[in-house]
Amino acid sequence: MQLVWALAWRNLWRNPRRTLLSAGAVAFMVFILIFVVSMQYGSYDTMVNHGASVVHGHVQIQRTDYVDEPRVRFVLEGAQALATRLRNDKSIKAATARAMSTALASNEETTHGAMVIGVDPANESKVSWLPRAVDEGRYLATTGNRTAPAAEAVIGRVLAKNLGLTVGDEIVLLGVTPEDGMAVLIANIVGLISSGQPALDRALVHVPLGLFQEAFEMQGAAHSVAVMYDDFNDASADSDVLNNAIADTLKETADTPGGPPNVALWNRLMPEIQGAIDSDKASSGVLYSVLVILVTFSIANTFVMMLFERTREFGTLLAMGAKPLTLRGTIQLETLLLAAIGGLVGALLGALTTYFVGQAGISLGAEAESVLAQFQMPERIHFGVLWKALPMAVLLMICTTQLAAWFATQRVHRMQIVEAIREEM
């Protein structure tokens, strides 16, 4: 076996230029895979984090039926205590309780439908970017960790335009309580939100959670607890942290409307984003496959040419008693060494380039930046090295080059010894 390794290594450098070109093709493919896949998954992080930080969060704790049928009576007793418990856990970035209901928003003459969200102003900005999207006035006031006692509201700019209201005016909201009574909420508008999403700006109303609970007769309850992580991949419905906190803080009875508490992940709350990611993975998978096939055929062609050049050598070795399987094994080993060299170089260059470029970020151009700014999205794509892509890319190229060599060396079995020895150099 030691002799086979020595022969393989020697044969690899009999033609240094050919070896370096083949190893360079492998290195380039590994480099491209690492860089592009890391950037691709970095864009997924941006999509998910931005979408989750509008309303849903990476995880939302709510009644089981509330996920598909958000009714105002499906409340969580002890939601604020649950949010406080989760905020104290080091594995969780932020958590906040929310109450939500549809309502009729009106001034003296006009009425429009609205989505009223009762929020904890002190913690809402840690979960959502909407408080930073106020472009006129201010966001809801806070006093420590408690909601402001004043009757304040921040509404979407399109809703304000439709109602003919502005900062300083009064808005009247009419809804339904969990017991099917009439909920009346009157608040002063202190700010207007421009999220860049017309559908959201047409209906959004933020009020302090305490004010919402008072108007909708919810006695300290809420509808959900939104949770954010540093990495959305850490979100799990089976998290012991979440399940233990739910068991310790939420008040449960056998006849609680809406079913037991449920941990809903971002991909269930935002199926459109999950669908976009799945579609992008599928299309990029086809592109990566084409690139890998092209490189594989290039390397296979190199080995076919190498076999033709070494036909006389192989014929001589066969005449001396060497077995075809031994020759093929030597060639396969040469391929393995070549792919390993190229793969390691490509992985090193790919990781270094990805790290530095990802830290600096990739600009999408001035026009795209202005559009992204309207949606409160970052103007540059930042990403890190997807470490699992390194061994996967190297192993992929090793496997494909081994396959290419296996097909190329089929000729050794069909080789006629006398004709091979007579082959011109």
List pLDDT tens digits, range 384-413: 888 999 999 999 888 888 887 777 776 666
CB 203 within 8 A of CB 156: yes
Residue with more model confidence, 236 or 139: 139
Q: What is the pLDDT of residues 42-53, one digit of tens each?
A: 888 888 888 888
Taking the C-alpha atoms of residue 138 and residue 54, their distance in angstroms, rounded to an integer, is 18
Q: Which tens digit of pLDDT belongs to each residue from 317-335?
A: 667 666 767 777 777 888 8
Per DSSP, the residues of 318-339 read HHTT--HHHHHHHHHHHHHHHH
Our CA angle for 158, 159, 162, nearest 5°, is 85
196 — phi, psi (to 5°)?
Answer: 85, 0
Instruction: Tally Cβ neighbours within 10 Å of residue 22.
Output: 25
Percentage of the chain exceeding pLDDT 70: 84
Is residue 126 pLDDT above 70, yes or no? Answer: yes
Nearest to 409 by CA among 320, 314, 317: 314
Helices 271-309 and 389-408: angle between axes, nearest 10 degrees: 40
Residue 232 and residue 130: Cα distance in Å, rounded?
Answer: 19
> Contact 89/242 with Cβ under 8 angstroms?
no
The model's pLDDT over 29-81, given as tens digits with 9 standing for 90+, comes to 899 999 999 988 888 888 888 888 888 899 999 998 998 888 999 999 889 99
The 3-state DSSP class for residue 179 equals coil
> Which tokens go with 159?
């809703």
pLDDT band at 148 (very low <50, low <70, confident <90, very high): very low
Judged by DSSP in three states, 147 sits in strand
Q: Is the pLDDT of residue 23 over 80?
A: yes
Domain edges within the chain: 2-51+273-422, 62-268
- Look-up of token digits 């549809």: 102
